[in-house]
Chain A
């Protein structure tokens, strides 16, 4: 009778198995309301829950007990105070041996970094209004930064930081401005992140750091920008501006492009006209002033010619001529224009003139193709008119012949 014996054994194991799955925290808090019930609701979506962790792993206690007093045994820690939150989370998140069990690639230096951050420094001084782990990651219902609904997912980061940093009253106590979020939303970076959904576009943490968030100092701004714009940085370092900026104590990139409100760069920023950043420092009549005007002319002329050719090709395309090849070549010239715009950071006029010259010689071929395409369009229309007239005459002759045949034959 092996089968009944096995069945009996399974039945004996069943209460133990049911007991192991019991979670009196969830059972009781699930029956409560508002903030006492919130942890149960949040836990359903929580990343910790997905890794098999539950209430007692953070808060201690014995979830197998039905009685609340017995459940809150000597291991029970309850909710930590705000000032204790970083250490509370770090019990696990700084323990590489423990974290390795769940995600070997997850970093374990968050607490160390946090302590170096402005938030961490102020918390140490007893300011409990500064951000702690839960302010950015949430309390219960914490999601991985890879989850699009997570507060730390790239396109949610500006709003997450803005919850405090766009709060004028809160920021007033720290004597720092609260317009960063508004400025950022107008920037070319925000456009890439929010409109193009380009996750590589910088959000707050890309420049200020994550857990070690702090404002970069004047000298390090240039290094921060160079993380994504190395070529512009290299050109700038070779330019006469480098020495001048260093001596004047300017912070390189942001002197012309701004900080949070980094607008899409335009050719109007160059030269001596309205909105030109060169004219902010250089006096009319000076050599650099003339050089800025020359650079502006070169760039304006080149980009104008590109647009003129694009219009011609678009017109030919609308008239039905296949212009994919010259359009491709025009795209190459446009790529050259982008590199010429970048070269302005080097302030080397000879280099700029050479590149613009290369581009213009390529444009000669594009223009010839565009004009050829328009000639082709005219030829097609002329051909159609001639052919249609011939065919109409032919059809009319047939029509007359048919009418003639309809007449009764003598």
Chain B
């Protein structure tokens, strides 16, 4: 290290005790085994979130959250602002990729039973983070105020409106009135850029802190033999950075060859276009609601499905407390099968959304 760098290092070390953090990172170890590939999806999600925040801040420089100006400002960003197309495309693509990565992260944690004691709260914070990211995605989808986003929001909030007892009030609260309009755009904007990211940032802090305190879980099946450990820094971090770089290449290719489109400006007086769908990560629920019979055992099918999803979500959240066998470090194949069935259901329903005609 040359003299200048040493001086800089000394300056920061004196003020922030960097050497102790590095020592801690070097001392900290991470288990390495045949399933440790899945560990990296948490880091990739964190990296994509950082990209989201950085590009989101840049988009805020030009975006106008009004019914009359939103679409025009996005068009301006895409056509006039230097590298605006890249910033917006990175923001939109990573918004979708991060949800996919979170799905993988969540299911890999589920199948490896990494949620078992003492990591229940890591799972719980992760679950709420997932819900928050879905909400961030939903609120952000409306902001370009194009035909697709406008009607998808209408479809999405109609589903919320069909909830038993609270549906109507909830829908009015989300929309800020009886229909998607300026009030909706205003509250979706503030939710998307301030309230939800702030809540997510706090939860990410707790989630990462819990991971650091408790370390990474080793699957029950590998507990019998001693598991190899690698240092968190630099070994694990280097692999993380390698994964981030590969993701960055993928995002770059997507943005150049498939830049996120602006679409036609939303026309609230136009008829709902045929085949309107919500974002891909909501489609398994959307298709379920479309395919379920109007009445099941004399209960309204749509309401039954929504209640089913709510109940399923609650059970999913409470998995660490329900799976007592895993908490005693014993195999729990029933949970693995249940997880596989849920995953299969989500994949099949998502595929059906884009292949079934008339949905």
Interface residues of A (CB under 8 A from B): 320-325, 380-381, 383-384, 387-388, 391-392, 394-395, 398-399, 401-402, 405
Query: Is A395 within 8 A of B256, CB to CB?
Result: no
A327: min CB distance to chain B, Å: 11
Q: Which residue of chain B has its CB nearest to the CB of A395?
A: B245
- Say whether, besides A320-B257, A324-B262, A384-B252, A398 and B85 are in contact (CB < 8 Å): no
B253 within 8 A of A: yes
Q: Is the CB of B234 within 8 A of A405?
A: yes
Binary A-proximity of B239-264 (CB < 8 A = 1, otherwise 0): 10110011011001100111100100
Contact with A along B79-101 (1 / 0, CB 8 A): 10000011000000000000000
Determine how close the nearest CB of chain B comes to the CB of A407; give it in whole angstroms: 12
Q: Report which residue of B239, B242, B259 has the largest number of chain A beta carbons within 10 angstroms of its beta carbon.
A: B242
Determine whether the beta carbon of A398 is less than 8 Å from that of B248. no
Q: Are B253 and A391 in contact (CB under 8 A)?
A: no
Chain B residues 246-291 with CB under 8 Å of chain A are: 246, 248-249, 252-253, 256-259, 262
Q: Is the CB of A402 within 8 A of B242?
A: yes
B256-A381 in contact (CB<8A): yes
Q: How distant is the Cα of A119 from the Cα of B262 in the complex, in angstroms?
A: 58
Q: What are the 3 A-B residue pairs with the smallest beta carbon separation, nearest first?
A: A322-B78, A322-B79, A395-B245
Chain B residues with CB under 8 Å of chain A are 75, 78-79, 85-86, 234-235, 238-239, 241-242, 245-246, 248-249, 252-253, 256-259, 262
Tell me which residues across on chain A come within 8 A of B262, comparing CB atoms: 322, 324
Contact partner of A387 (CB less than 8 A), chosen from B78, B234, B252, is B252
Contact in complex: A324, B256 (CB < 8 Å): no
B75 contacts across to A, CB distance below 8 A = 322, 324-325
In the complex, how many angstroms separate the beta carbon of A153 from the nearest chain B beta carbon?
21
Q: Contact: A398 with B242, CB < 8 Å?
A: yes
Inter-chain CA distance A325–B75, complex, in Å, is 9
Query: If A325-B79, A405-B234 touch, does A384 touch B242 (CB 8 Å cutoff)?
Result: no
Complexed CA–CA distance, A388 and B256 (Å): 12
Check A391 against B245 for contact (C-beta < 8 Å): yes
Write out the residue numbers on chain B whose beta carbons fall within 8 Å of the beta carbon of A395.
Answer: 242, 245-246, 249
What chain A residues lie within 8 Å of B234 (beta carbons)?
Answer: 405
Q: Are B249 and A380 in contact (CB under 8 A)?
A: no
Report chain B residues within 8 Å CB of A394. Answer: 245
| B249→A398 contact, CB < 8 A | no
> Contact between B242 and A391 (Cβ–Cβ < 8 Å)?
no
- Nearest A residue to B264 via CB reads A324
| Interface hub of B78, B239, B256, B258 (most chain A Cβ within 10 A) | B256
Known: A323-B79, A388-B253, A394-B245. A402 touches B259 (CB 8 A): no
B242 touching A380, Cβ below 8 Å: no
Q: Shortest CB–CB separation between residue B82 and chain A, in angstroms?
A: 11
A384 and B252 alpha carbons, distance in the complex (Å): 7
Residues of chain B with a CB closer than 8 A to A391's CB: 245, 248-249, 252
Structural contact, B252 and A399, CB atoms closer than 8 A: no
Query: Do B235 and A398 have beta carbons less than 8 Å apart?
Result: no
Q: Given the interface contacts A322-B78, A324-B79, does A401 sit within 8 Å of B238 by beta carbon?
A: yes
Q: Could you tell me the distance between the alpha carbons of A139 and B159 in the complex, rounded to whole angstroms? A: 49
A220 to B314 CA separation, bound complex (whole angstroms): 78
List, in ascending order, chain A residues with CB within 8 A of B79's CB.
Answer: 321-325
A320 with B259: CB separation less than 8 A: yes
Cross-chain contact of A320 among B238, B239, B245, B258 (Cβ < 8 A) = B258
Measured in the bound complex, the distance between the Cα atoms of B248 and A395 in whole Å is 11
19 A-B pairs within 8 Å (CB atoms) are namely: A320-B258, A321-B79, A321-B259, A322-B78, A322-B262, A324-B79, A324-B262, A325-B75, A384-B253, A384-B256, A388-B253, A391-B248, A395-B242, A395-B249, A398-B238, A398-B245, A401-B238, A402-B238, A402-B239
CB pair B257 A399 closer than 8 Å: no
Q: Which residues of A contact B245 (CB under 8 A)?
A: 391, 394-395, 398
Q: B204 CB to closest chain A CB, in angstroms?
A: 24
CA A365 – CA B235 in complex, angstroms? 56
A387 to B78, CA, bound (A): 20
B235 close to A405 (CB less than 8 A): yes
Taking the nearest CB of chain A, how far is it from the CB of B241, in angstroms? 6
Cβ of A394 to closest chain B Cβ, rounded Å = 6
Chain B residues, Cβ within 8 Å of A399? 242
A402 / chain B contacts, CB cutoff of 8 Å: 235, 238-239, 242
Determine whether the beta carbon of B249 is less than 8 Å from that of A388. yes
Are A398 and B241 in contact (CB-based, < 8 A)?
yes
Other-chain residue from B86, B238, B256 in contact with A405 (beta carbon distance below 8 A): B238
A401: chain B residues within 8 A (beta carbon): 238
What's the minimum C-beta distance from B29 to chain A, rounded to whole angstroms?
Answer: 14
Assembled-state Cα–Cα distance A71/B283 (Å): 66
A380-B256, A398-B238, A398-B242 are known contacts. Are A322 and B85 too (CB-CB below 8 A)? yes
Closest Cβ neighbor of B260 among chain A residues: A320
User: Nearest CB to that of A380 among chain B residues?
Assistant: B256
Bound together, the chains give a CA A401 to CA B234 distance in angstroms of 10
**A contact residues around B242 at 8 Å (CB):** 395, 398-399, 402
